[in-house]
């Protein structure tokens, strides 16, 4: 079974440009999460989708970040316009459903390393 995949693995852009990150969750997983780690800091939660709906977007830093999950499959995270402080590693995770136990265990992708110059 394929794990969570993310694209691209690395992205280098200039300040003010737009970048779109993509996450493909494990097939059949209803829940999709975005996290990020900025330099020297802890991994922080950004938002959580249940199928195509945003369940919790309390971690989104500002309105320059837009996440979508059309059709409840893959998700995109767009940063527009990018700022220097957006540099970091963006992780995506998915879990099967919201019932407790193993079904709500989150499995992470390899991350996208974003560098804003």
Whichever of 67 and 93 has its CB closer to another protein, that residue is 93
Give me the residues that bind another protein (CB under 8 A), please. Answer: 4, 31, 33, 35, 42-45, 48, 55-56, 59, 89, 91, 93, 95, 98, 100-101, 104-111, 113
Minimum distance between the CB of residue 70 and another protein, rounded to whole angstroms?
A: 21
- Can you tell me whether residue 82 is helix, strand or coil? coil
Of 20, 21, 23, whose CA–CA distance to 5 is shortest?
23
CB of 28 to another protein, least distance (A): 17
In our burial notation (b when 16+ CB lie closer than 10 A, e otherwise), range 83-111 reads eeebbbbbbbbbbbeeeeeeeeebeebeb
Q: Which of residues 20 and 108 has its CB atom nearest to another protein in the complex?
A: 108
Q: Which is nearer to another protein, 7 or 45 (CB)?
A: 45
Phi and psi, residue 70, nearest 5°: -65, 130
């Amino acid at each position: 079974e394929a794990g969570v995949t993310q694209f691209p693995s690395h992205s280098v852009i200039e300040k003010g440009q737009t970048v779109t990150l993509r996450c493909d969750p494990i097939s059949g997983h209803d829940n999709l999460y975005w996290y990020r780690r900025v330099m020297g800091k802890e991994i922080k939660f950004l938002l959580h989708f249940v199928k195509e709906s945003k369940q919790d977007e309390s971690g989104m830093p500002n309105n320059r970040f837009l996440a979508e999950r059309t059709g409840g499959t893959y998700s995109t995270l767009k940063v527009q316009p990018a700022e220097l402080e957006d540099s970091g590693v963006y992780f995506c995770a998915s879990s099967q459903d919201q019932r407790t136990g193993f079904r709500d265990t989150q499995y992470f992708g390899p991350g996208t390393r974003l560098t804003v110059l």
